[in-house]
Amino acid sequence: MAIPQHFIQELLARADVVEIVGRYVQLKKTGANFSGLCPFHAEKSPSFTVSPSKQFYHCFGCGKNGNAIGFLMDHTGAGFVEVVHDLAQSYGLQVPEDERSPAERARAAEEAEQRATLSDVLARAGEAYRKQLKESPRAIEYLRRRGLSGEVARDFGLGYAPESWRTLAGVFPDYTDALLTESGLVITSEDDADKRYDRFRDRIMFPIRGVKGEVIGFGGRVLGDEKPKYLNSPETPVFHKGRELYGLFEARHALREHGYALVTEGYMDVVALAQLGFGNAVATLGTACTPEHVQKLFRFTDSVVFSFDGDSAGRRAARKALEAALPFATDVRSVKFLFLPTEHDPDSFIRAEGTEAFGAAVKAAVPLSRFLLDAAAEECDLSTAEGRSHLAANAQPLWRLLPTGALAQQLLGEIAGQVQIGPHELEDLWGLRRRPAGNYKKESYSGRSGAGQAAKTPKFSSPMGARRTRTPPASRASRALQIALSEPETWERLSQDEHALLCDLPAPHGPLFTWLAGQSLDHGPQPWSALREALRGHAEEPFAVEQMAQLHPDIVADPAELRAILRTELESQLKRQMDAALAEHDLARYQTLMARLAHLKRRAGDSP
């Protein structure tokens, strides 16, 4: 559902970003703004600033920034629509649903009620499993043998499903309730609906939680060598294996402390690592890593380390993770691959070698760029022309998944070097169409993936690194954009000619000014916090956000500065047109343009 922009604007007008951020971060008044320790990365001195006047937050350490909605999305990992609904409810607002038919609204309400009900059923089962664990010496002994403490079992809500076929019949008054089947807790025979039995029997139970902490499913592990070793809940309205990560809710604070997420292969790895000091571990749920997994992780951290066994199966799993991660590998994110010796998983490695050795192994993990090259070079004899050509063919589909940016450019050069041809020759070989450079030079390529296009880097300034301490000076066009986006009244004061001048600028500035003109016509002056939400999905959204991130909260955007920029830009435009008139021997046009330039300078108080 598309939520109307006017409602987002009204919601952000009511939601005080200082109050919302203050629920999670201890803020201190510093001049006109508030500051505190960033909740998105570990730091000892505050670099996190919240501006009450702009209703915006920004961290100068890791680069995270946004409005109240963006903060809740980043901090909780919830989606945009979910955050808007929750925030609206807290302020007593009803999210408009005009675009949906009554039947669609009723169906959505029914689905939401079903999800809440299923989570309640699963939570009740989880409580029963926890009680059963306390009463099972055999299950407790198994966890002790695995080196798990009672504290970590409590923190992760571990339980035990007894051997009985109908344990849950003693938990729920109506064992025939359809909700028990829909939640995946009970299996109903296809031949006889009266035949029902518990899905999980004689297993250690690992509750799987959503980003808000609600129980959405279970993973069960046998205590011996029976098969299957792990059993997950089936797909349900609240549980989708390809989207969820075990331990993400429990790891949300440790992710910020450690600065990275460690993706492992099993539930036990996650729990054991948490006990051993690595609470930042998560695990996929018995399925290959998906783009949805990676996207969810990058809501919480800018650095991900995938840990796999060093055998052939581990390499195959790593290749899947590589393909899932490539579309999200922007210039400010880090993706690495950790391959442990075949005799070890993370748990056994730490117990054998120690936490320091494991930490060193994580630091020495293979960067995404190197693994991409290694994966492309598999089974290629690089001493032959055929082998090098094979590498180029293998690398092309992987490289195309990358978002446009410095990393993609560097890898293009490295691939070309291994193939032993020039980068431009490789571009021609792969059919990459280069755009002619104009006043603002930037190369881009066709044939990118959709994710890559959405994540492309700014064209007018260097990408904002996670630890960058200095911002390069903005171009005139970028500074004009910052002023127009941060001061909602500024755009209204400009003339139609000035509007046209800005809208005619090359991309990405021109399209953004054109979009801003439409927003102004439809909604009037809007603060950046509202414009930020309206930008979602716009082709130049990453560039606009980057430009605003470079705007220091204490710098006041002066409308007079925008007029000075426009005057300088108009002078430059007139001079270019005069040069063109001279080249065409059009003296009359040249004199007209010269008169306009003289008039412009007189208005500015300059000499003609």
Confidence label for 521 from pLDDT (cuts 50, 70 and 90)? low
Domain positions in the chain: 5-90, 111-239, 379-454, 476-603
pLDDT score for 456: 35
Stretch among 17-26, 304-313, 562-571, 594-603 having the lowest mean pLDDT: 594-603
- In CATH, what class is 111-239? alpha beta
pLDDT score for 373: 95
Give the integer Cα–Cα distance in Å for 566 and 107. 52
Q: Are strands 28-30 and 33-36 parallel, antiparallel or unpaired?
A: antiparallel
C-alpha pair distances (Å), 339 with each of 264, 266, 268, 376 = 11, 15, 18, 18
Give the integer Cα–Cα distance in Å for 362 and 364. 5
Q: Please tell me the pTM assigned to this model.
A: 0.63
**C-alpha count within 13 angstroms, C-beta hemisphere, residue 559:** 9
pLDDT score for 453: 36
Q: What CATH architecture does domain 476-603 belong to?
A: Orthogonal Bundle (1.10)
Q: What is the CATH number of domain 5-90?
A: 3.90.580.10
pLDDT digits (tens, 9 = 90+) for 422-464: 988 998 889 875 444 333 333 333 344 433 333 333 333 333 3
Span 549-564, average pLDDT: 66
Q: Taking phi first (over 0 means left), then psi (-120 to 50 degrees means alpha), and beta for anything else, what does residue 284 get?
A: beta
Q: Give the dihedral of Cα atoms 462, 464, 467, 473; nearest 10 deg.
A: 60
pLDDT(336) > 70: yes
pLDDT score for 201: 95
476-603 has the same fold as 5-90? no
Give the integer Cα–Cα distance in Å for 579 and 104. 61
Span 523-527, average pLDDT: 70
pLDDT digits (tens, 9 = 90+) for 201-226: 999 999 999 877 899 999 999 998 88
Span 142-153, average pLDDT: 92
Q: Check whether the bond before 39 is cis (ω within 30° of 0).
A: no
Please calculate the CA angle 245-451-250 and round it to the nearest 5 degrees: 20
Confidence label for 553 from pLDDT (cuts 50, 70 and 90)? low
- Residue with the larger pLDDT of the pair 60 and 193: 60
pLDDT digits (tens, 9 = 90+) for 161-172: 999 999 999 999
